[in-house]
Amino acid sequence: MDECIFCKIINGKVPSEKVFESENFITIKDINQHPEGHSLVIPKKHFESFINLPENLYQEFVEATKKSIWKLEEEYDFEGFNLALNNGKVAGQIVPHMHLHILPRKRGDNFRFV
Ligand code: 5GP
Ligand code: ZN
């Protein structure tokens, strides 16, 4: 997947700010820091959609997500968070490499979750 921006990040060809890493997942800060701390949990292998994620990675995916949230809690002061997984253009997926958005939330942050 030569053209995939997330594959390039995973291969170290494009810089990113790492939040957490496990054997098969990496969590990075989203380039768009809205809301503050906005991060992405990304499988290291290129799977286009959540539906393509192999079953043997389900547990690690959930664990990577929880550990990423704990890491973010050390850095940011937030009271809650949204998790979002856009699958397909019609659902707002722009980067065709599966990723889970972690969207830290606090009262009065004016963030509209779409
Ligand atoms: P999607 O709409 O596909 O669910 O979300 C793609 C996300 O990737 C967007 O929130 C966008 O800001 C983020 N993004 C796109 N290009 C880059 C990049 O080069 N680096 C980082 N860190 N995030 C990116
Ligand atoms: Zn990719």
- The model's pLDDT over 80-95, given as tens digits with 9 standing for 90+, comes to 999 999 999 999 999 9
Supply the range of the domain harboring residue 78.
5-105
Q: Residue 41 pLDDT more than 70?
A: yes
Residue 96, in any domain of the structure: yes
- The model's pLDDT over 18-32, given as tens digits with 9 standing for 90+, comes to 999 999 999 999 999
Pocket test for ligand 1, best of 94, 98, 101, 103 (most atoms within 8 A of CB): 94
Convert the chain into a string of H (helix), E (strand) and C (coil). Answer: CCCCHHHHHHCCCCCCCEEEECCCEEEEECCCCCCCCCEEEEECCCCCCHHHCCHHHHHHHHHHHHHHHHHHHHHCCCCEEEEECCCCHHHCCCCCCCCEEEEEECCCCCCCCC
Number of domains in the chain: 1
In ligand 1, which atom is closest to the CA atom of 99? Answer: 4
CATH number at residue 57: 3.30.428.10
How much is the average pLDDT of 13-21? Answer: 98
Which residues are known catalytic residues? 99
Average per-residue pLDDT in the chain? 96
Residue 10: name the closest of 45, 49, 61, 52 by CA.
45
Relative to the alpha carbon of 42, which ligand is closest?
Answer: 2
User: Residue 2: its pLDDT value, please?
Assistant: 75
Model pTM? 0.97
